[in-house]
Amino acid sequence: MEHVVLTETGKQCLQSLLKIWLDFDISVTKVPIIRRLEQGRLSIEDYQKLLLNLRQQVIEGSRWISRCASSFDRQYSDIRSTVIHHAEEEHKDYMMLENDYVATGGCRESIEQASKNIGSEALHGFLMYRASQPNPVDLIGAMWIIEGLGNKMASKWAKLVNEQFSFDTSCTSFMEYHGENDENHLLELYQLIDRVATSEQNVNAIIRTAKVVAKLYQVQLEEVDNDN
């Protein structure tokens, strides 16, 4: 994908982000609930817990992305437009996730009233803090990890769930939707990398935020098995 990033500093940034993604991919496969999913040992209760815990991060996602957009000044108005469009597209995605949960036999009231797990709290707190800073170009690194999950993992996870369970109505619409649509979001990210990876300072900030978000997302998944 380096051919879609044109500037030299952009290519350097992308190479670092690809390395972070590979390390994150390996780490996620070691998280117990993901390991059970990939080994065909997931229970319906496990899948319900996964959906219930992801819902909070999805709801908060549109909030920090919107805050991020509002923190860009006129110098970055083109980025602000892209980020606003992204937030508008995703701000009701949690409803698909709720419907999937109900399709598995879960109670809608249970998922609507569930609170964030410890990892989700940490992830949301960090993202909102960074999104509140002036011109938070480093959040391109956060979007790289989260959009990458949708593009590279969601379809695979949906396929594995459907191989293990059979329901009257689809219970993987959220994952399937992101598996199909997040590729477009990644293409937008490549353009943003070219736009903001213009200095060593910006590249280092993007890389650091990508590393932090990857680690906190991993913790969020690890906490799915814990009662909070």
181 vs 183: CA distance, rounded Å: 5
Distance CA 106, CA 109 (A): 9
Residue 85: C-alpha distances to residues 79, 90, 149, 151, 209 (Å)? 10, 9, 19, 18, 22
Radius of gyration of the chain (CA): 17
pLDDT tens over the chain, length 228 residues: 555 777 889 999 999 999 999 999 999 999 999 999 999 999 999 999 999 999 988 999 889 999 999 999 999 999 999 999 888 887 888 999 999 999 999 999 999 999 999 999 999 999 999 999 999 999 999 999 998 888 788 889 999 999 999 887 789 999 998 887 766 777 888 889 999 999 999 999 999 999 999 999 999 999 999 865
Give residue-wise pLDDT tens across range 168-200: 778 999 999 888 776 677 788 888 999 999 999
Q: Phi and psi of 167, rounded to 5°?
A: -125, 160
Please tell me the predicted confidence (pLDDT) of residue 169: 79
CA–CA dist 46, 42 (Å, integer): 6
pLDDT tens, position by position, 89-109:
878 889 999 999 999 999 999
Residue/partner pairs of 126-133 with CB below 8 Å, 24 or more apart: 126/212, 126/213, 126/216, 127/60, 127/64, 127/213, 128/60, 128/63, 128/64, 128/67, 130/64, 130/68, 130/209, 131/64, 131/65, 131/67, 131/68, 131/71, 132/67, 132/71, 133/71
Query: Which residues, at least 6 apart from 191, have a Cβ–Cβ distance to it below 8 Å?
Result: 82
At 102, the amino acid letter reads V
Residue 28's closest CA among 216, 226, 228? 216
Alpha-carbon gap, residue 79 to 95, rounded angstroms: 27
